[in-house]
Amino acid sequence: MTVDLSVTIGNLKLANPVMPASGTFGYGQEYAGLIDLNDLGAIVSKAVSPAPRPGNKPPRMVELKGALLNSIGLQNPGIEGFIEKKIPFLRQFKPPVVVNVVGNSIEEYRQVVEALDAIDRVDGFEINLSCPNVQKGLEFGTTVDGVAR
């Protein structure tokens, strides 16, 4: 007997609901030697911003009793780097690719989505409105009206 674990989110059909949380899985390459990425329901990327970001200077992580506190700073290759360096790798796998989008303004979010929406291997977007590393993101990510814009 086989069990159908498929789920549909909007127009996106997933073979199963298992996917990594954004920011914990890199862009897939980092874990490809550990698991079969084709077993995932989707591959969810780290953040992508309009331009590359170097992230925060070390130390980026602090171990606490029973916890780990991090402040990576949204390090990412930017739109062009993501398209040139990450998309070719992701094309070899079946699961949909969901890109975590970050920016300093609504216009920057729009810029990332419009650029990546044209890429045949990007299947969905996760809009990162809650990261404390982005002051302006918090300005419009804290109210329903702000998010709707």
Band (97; pLDDT cuts 50, 70, 90) = very high
Is residue 143's pLDDT more than 90?
no
Is residue 84's pLDDT more than 80?
yes
Which of 54-58, 96-100, 127-131 is predicted most confidently? 96-100
pLDDT of 70: 85
Mean pLDDT of the chain: 91
Is residue 106's pLDDT more than 70?
yes
Catalytic residue chosen out of the listed positions 32, 113, 115, 131:
131
Is residue 139's pLDDT more than 70?
no
β-pair partners for 45:
none
Q: pLDDT tens-digit profile of 47-80?
A: 999 999 999 999 899 999 999 888 888 999 999 9
Distance CA 6, CA 79 (A): 30
In angstroms, what CA-CA distances link 85 with 71, 76, 77, 107?
Answer: 24, 11, 8, 24
The domain locations on the chain are 7-148
Report the Cα 77 to chain-centroid distance in Å. 12
The pTM of the whole model exceeds 0.85: yes
User: Could you confirm whether 50 is annotated as catalytic?
Assistant: no
Is residue 11's pLDDT more than 70?
yes
CATH of domain 7-148: 3.20.20.70
